């Protein structure tokens, strides 16, 4: 199972978390988030091992700004948490891996994903809230049984040490990874490395 750690902010914390070898590391480029990273530390990002995919998270950002940041900071992936269209997502795939996030609740209609098939690399199923992400809340994972598409997905939203074992029980054929964020923090943007280490051990155990 792939592991993404999101919402990194401080250079030292980035290095500590990198030592756990996540598959993806996320940086929030959305200025209304408490995890917004105003000044991306280019030297720290450059020094990250190539095996860690640097992922920039956006909410309804312009394609020009996204392309600029990809170029400036060498992002390998983008995670889109707004109302980005399939065409918008597809336009970025010449440069990076594209994750498209959707807020999921009990009424979520998976047929809306059909239009994105072939236009994104991964879906991210997050908890539907008033905001765009980082809520720390889980959704009812049983609803994932209604997803019959082939695009692999990550589960996000409120993952924590309390529910990580349960997430591992999900046997959906397209379930590809998890995204760990606010429930592994000492403050917004500052990850608890010890808690993450425990989670990595649980997730990587057979
Ligand atoms: O973390 C944020 O502040 C954030 C803001 C705007 C868009 C996405 C954001 N984070 C993403 O939200 C999900 C769920 O996070 P949590 O585990 O519930 O805290 C995750 O994919 C983050 O990458």
From 27, 36, 57, the mutation candidate for ligand 1 (largest count of ligand atoms within 8 A of CB) is 57
Q: CA–CA separation, 181 vs 28, rounded Å?
A: 11
pTM: 0.96
* Domain residue extents for the chain: 2-204
For the chain, the helix, strand and coil percentages under 3-state DSSP, each to the nearest 5 = 30, 25, 45
pLDDT value for 108: 98
**Of 146, 67, 54, which is closest to residue 102 (Cα–Cα)?**
146
22 lines ligand 1 (CB under 6 A): no
Which value, to the nearest 10 degrees, does the dihedral of the CA atoms of residues 193, 32, 41, 8 take?
A: 10
- In the numeric block, the tokens 């992922």 are attached to 55
26 lines ligand 1 (CB under 6 A): yes
- Structure letter (DSSP) for residue 199: H
Query: 94: CA distance to ligand 1 center in Å?
Result: 25
33 lines ligand 1 (CB under 6 A): yes
Per-residue pLDDT of the chain (206 residues; tens, 9 = 90+): 999 999 999 999 999 999 999 999 999 999 999 999 988 999 999 999 999 999 999 999 999 999 999 999 999 999 999 999 999 999 999 999 999 999 999 999 999 999 999 999 999 999 999 999 999 999 999 999 999 999 999 999 999 999 999 999 999 999 999 999 999 999 999 999 999 999 999 999 98
Q: CA–CA separation, 144 vs 171, rounded Å?
A: 10
Query: 118: CA distance to ligand 1 center in Å?
Result: 24
Query: 55: CA distance to ligand 1 center in Å?
Result: 12
Domain 2-204 has CATH 3.30.70.260: no
Question: Which residues does 149 contact at the CB level (< 8 Å), separation at least 6?
Answer: 110, 113, 114, 117, 123, 174
């Amino acid at each position: 199972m792939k592991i993404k750690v999101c919402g990194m902010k401080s250079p030292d914390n980035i290095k500590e978390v990198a030592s756990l070898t996540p598959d993806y590391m996320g940086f929030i480029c959305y200025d209304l988030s408490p995890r917004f990273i105003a000044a991306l530390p280019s030297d720290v990002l450059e020094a990250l091992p190539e095996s860690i995919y640097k992922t920039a998270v956006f909410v309804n950002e312009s394609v020009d700004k996204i392309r600029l940041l990809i170029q400036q900071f060498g992002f390998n992936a983008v995670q889109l948490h707004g109302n980005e269209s399939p065409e918008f997502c597809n336009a970025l795939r010449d440069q990076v891996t594209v994750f498209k996030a959707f807020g999921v609740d009990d009424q979520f209609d998976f047929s809306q994903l059909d239009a994105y098939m072939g236009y994104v690399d991964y879906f991210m199923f997050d908890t539907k809230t008033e905001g765009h992400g980082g809520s720390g809340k889980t959704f009812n994972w049983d609803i994932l049984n209604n997803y019959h598409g082939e695009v692999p997905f990550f589960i996000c939203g409120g993952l924590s040490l309390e529910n990580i074992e349960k997430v591992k029980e999900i046997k959906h054929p397209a379930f590809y990874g998890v995204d760990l964020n606010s429930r592994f923090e000492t403050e917004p943007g500052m990850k608890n490395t010890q808690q993450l280490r425990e989670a990595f051990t649980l997730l990587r155990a057979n």
